[in-house]
Amino acid sequence: MATTELEIFQLALSYVGSVGLAASGSEERRLLDLISPEVTNQLSAAYNWNPLKKTEQLVQVAPAVDGSDVPWPETATTSAFYPDEWNYAYAIPATMIVARRIHGLGRNARIEVPFKRGVHFYDSGGVIATATHQPVLFCDELDPYLEYTRLITPGDAPWLDDAWALMLAARVAIPLEGKPGQISVGLAERAQAAFYNAMTIDAQEAGQDTPLKAHYINARS
């Protein structure tokens, strides 16, 4: 099981055939540092991985000072406002990659609450201050709880290591080869197979019969 980013990088380069070149300062390491954030986000978001699930109560973003809601995105004289079809806006958790569902408490916990990701605008004297745009989740639940997927980190789920490393390898092989070639194509196919195998193991670890629906990912995209 990989417990550090460097170990994931070393595993990725072993698939490319560049063992031992993950050290800082190498061209391979430079490419991995460049590619890794996108690949990590892609893998995290592609499926509702059980070890990455989190649930927490959302924190409401302060409404307009006079308590009114005004149409969005039109300008207004209030200090803050929401889109007119939603009653509340909530701050997005810092570790969230994908919002999965919002629900209430108690008997309402099983009822999914409609929501929308958007931007909370602050207004000053009728002019929207673009520097104060804040990404939020809009919904009509007063005390909502959000189930979401957070960003994967090394050690979270050993059954994801191969898919993670192969996705990195498929991407880094392209600039190393100079163009998409047999190595990168083969690695992309192996990454896809490892991804679906990880889904199966993830479901088994959680006691589920079959994996839930996942988003298709292209390791070469």
- Which tokens in the block code for residue 136? 């939020």
pLDDT at 212: 59
For the chain, percent of residues with pLDDT exceeding 90:
39
Give the span between the Cα atoms of 63 and 134, in whole angstroms: 13
CA–CA separation, 54 vs 75, rounded Å?
36
How does pLDDT run across 184-214, given as a tens digit for each residue?
889 999 999 999 999 999 998 888 766 655 5
Query: What is residue 132's predicted lDDT score, i.e. its pLDDT?
Result: 55
Greater pLDDT, 47 or 126: 47
The region, left, alpha or beta by phi > 0 then psi within -120 to 50, assigned to residue 97 is alpha
pLDDT higher than threshold 60 for residue 131: no
Helix, strand, or coil (residue 47): coil
Helix and strand tally (H, E) in the chain? Answer: 4, 8
pLDDT at 45: 94
Q: What angle do CA 138, 87, 55 make, to 5 degrees?
A: 45
First to last CA, the chain: 26
Q: What is the pTM of this model?
A: 0.76
Backbone angles phi, psi at 62, to 5 degrees: -60, 130
pLDDT digits (tens, 9 = 90+) for 166-190: 999 999 888 877 656 778 889 999 9
SS3 (DSSP) at 134: strand
Name the residue ranges covered by the structural domains of the chain: 5-49+152-205, 53-150
Supply the pLDDT for residue 214.
54
Tell me: the pLDDT tens digits for 137-156? 988 888 899 999 999 999 99
